[in-house]
Structures are given as C-alpha cells and as structure tokens.
Amino acid sequence: MSNIKSKLRKLAPQWLLFYYYLRTAKKACLPDLKRRTRDKVDTVSKVEKLRRNLTLSYHIVEKGLTMPEPRPGFGKAVIMDLGNTIKQYHSLGFPEDILEFTQSVSVLKEYKAFHAEINFELTKEVAGLLDYIENTFPSVTGVKQIYTSSEEYFKDINSSFDKFCMSRYSIRNYTKEPVPLEILNSCIELAQKSPSFCNRQPTRVYIVKSEEKKKGILELQNGNRGFGYLADTLLVITSLISTTKDIHERNENHLNGGMFSMTLLNALHFYKIGACSLNWSVSDENDMKVRALLNIPDNEVVLLVISCGYVPEKIAIAASPRKTAKEITTVLS
C-alpha cells in the first residue's frame, strides 16, 4: 500500500500535492489550535492568567532596573498595570505566598527605592500606587536584582555541573570588544552535541556582525530595548523544515532548536561571553523582513535570536527567580 501511495504522489501534479499536504496539515494542527483558542476564552484558568500577567509585567520592571543606563521614571504604563494586577489578584483572595505575587510586590518596592535613591520625583499617580503596595504588603519580600562584577559572575564556569548551571543568567550589557569567530564556532560545535531527532541535525545558525543587519533585526524584535544595540554579535537560530518527514513531526524543529540553543547559551557562558535569548514571537510581516535581510530560505523556520558580547567589569542582572522543582512536577506512581 505504501508503495502504491508513493507512486501516486510521484505522478500527481505539484498543485495537487500541495493541497493534499495542506489538508493533512490542517487536520493535524486543528486540535492544537482549538486547545489554544479555548484557553484564551476559558475562565477556569483565571488564576494562571493573572500569574502570567504578573510575571510579564514584573520581569519588564526587573529588566528596566538592570539596564546599562536605567531611565528615571521608566515604564509608567507597566508599573500601573502591575500594581493594578496585584490589587486584582489580592481582591480575589488567591494565594499570596507564590513566586509571581511576592516578586511582583518586591519589584515595585525596588522600583520605588531606586527612584528615592536618585532623588527622582515620580508622578502622583505612580507614587500613590507604590505607597499603597508598600503599606498593604509590608512583609512581602522577593528576590532583589543582582549587582556584581564580571569576575564574580564567571567564577563557577569550571565548577561542578550544578554550580555551573546555577551561575548562568541572561546578560544585557556588553563591552565593545569583538567576540572572535573562532570562539563562536567553538560554542556552536559544543551545541552540536545537543540531542537531535534521528541525528537529523536541523538547527542552523546565522552569525550577524554587520551593524546594519543587527540594527535591522533588533528593530523587528520586541524585547531588546535599552541594551540590544550594545551586542557585538547576534546569533539567529533557525531550523530546517526539510529534515522533518511529515506534519506529525512539526514540533521537532522547535524542540531540537530549543535544546541546541540552551547548550549554546551554556557554551557562551563557559567561554565568558554574556548572552540573552530574544524571542521571535513576531508577525508574519516581520518574519518575512528578517528572512529577506539575512537571505533565510523558505524551508527554514526562525526560532529565536541570541544577543551576545563580552561583559563589562560591573554588571546588573535581573534576578528572574525560578519556581522549585516540586512546584512544576507531578509524580505518578
């Protein structure tokens, strides 16, 4: 039967094959699309969505506090949104000992302290909200942002595996010293040891040094404001769709690319290069623009961008605390 199908496909015109595969893809992807759509209108998971909103907002503030040059009064709209989400979460009586809530409150307290330290007068609206947060939740504390030296940051790169893993953070400040291609290639060689489905090795890397091309990429990506321009190098990670056999392997490009990228980030850390993952959650229009800019073939999917460079002597790092293993694990016995 499989031989007959193979022969029929060879005889079929290209347009007919296209619509055959399109129909197969629609059938395979529809359950996931429905699941994602249901989640957006579902009210049962309201607490999870509020926690998501808290995390999205508090992390923006974390990043703002640790920029190379934090802008006084930055992020007013985000501050107001975070404060109001905290109020909403509190009013609904959800647990307040969870990471998302404690870190949100802590970050707003840190924001207030930062502006007090530089003697910057916040607007009455923002100042009033911050006072409310501080007075309502006086005992709530989270993880503060990290202010350290490059020497201290890299001190565990030759330590045991657990210390090495715990020592890596996203770095959003870089010097002007160029990162040699030889070192970048060494990092990519290490990343090539990442697991790969049937050893098909779908991941591709575009090393971008051109100032013009870096600027073009960063203008299309939505998470590098305040630091992206400092990066000596951008690594654009893609995955070759042609390595997948059919639509049922559609997740393999992202799965393999994710494992490859994490190994690459660890390799950069090992070579004392600071790096930050930049999402590629962009519109089709922006995706097409970056493809044209870098001449990326149609049979590759763009996964993410990594900004990287050597680290200055003094750095500030967003704390980005993690949930514990127990919080995200289900044991089935």
Predicted pLDDT of residue 76: 96
Which has more confidence, 272 or 28? 272
Please give the average per-residue pLDDT across 223-232, as a whole number.
Answer: 95
Task: Supply angle C-alpha 252, 18, 23, rounded to 5.
Answer: 70
What does the alpha-carbon distance between residue 330 and residue 109 come to, in Å, rounded to a whole number?
34
Q: pLDDT-based confidence at 24, cuts 50/70/90? A: confident
Task: Supply angle C-alpha 31, 32, 38, rounded to 5.
Answer: 90
CA 57 → CA 77, 136, 168, distances in Å? 10, 19, 22
Predicted pLDDT of residue 4: 60
Structure tokens at 45: 């998971």
Task: Report pTM.
Answer: 0.92
Residue with tokens 């939505």: 222
CA 124 → CA 22, 71, 129, distances in Å? 56, 18, 8
Which has more confidence, 7 or 106? 106
Q: What is the DSSP letter of 312?
A: P
Long-range pairs for 36-44 at CB < 8 Å and ≥24 separation? Answer: none
Please give the average per-residue pLDDT across 32-56, as a whole number.
Answer: 88
Q: Residue 54, class by beta-carbon neighbours within 10 Å (0-12 exposed, 13-18 middle, 19+ buried)?
A: buried
Q: Which of 34-38, 81-85, 226-230 has the lowest mean pLDDT?
A: 34-38
Cross-strand partners of 274: 309
| CB burial string 120-158: b at 16+ within 10 A, e below | eebeeebeebbeebeeebeebebbebeeeebeebbebee
Predicted pLDDT of residue 122: 97
Which has more confidence, 10 or 159? 159
What does the alpha-carbon distance between residue 304 and residue 280 come to, in Å, rounded to a whole number?
5
Q: pLDDT-based confidence at 7, cuts 50/70/90? A: low
Q: What is the DSSP letter of 68?
A: S
Cross-strand partners of 149: 314
Residue type, 247: I
Q: pLDDT-based confidence at 178, cuts 50/70/90? A: very high
Which has more confidence, 29 or 296? 296
Please give the average per-residue pLDDT across 18-25, as a whole number.
Answer: 81
pLDDT digits (tens, 9 = 90+) for 134-175: 999 999 999 999 999 999 999 999 999 999 999 999 999 999
Predicted pLDDT of residue 254: 97
Structure tokens at 51: 């926690």
Q: Residue 325, class by beta-carbon neighbours within 10 Å (0-12 exposed, 13-18 middle, 19+ buried)?
A: exposed
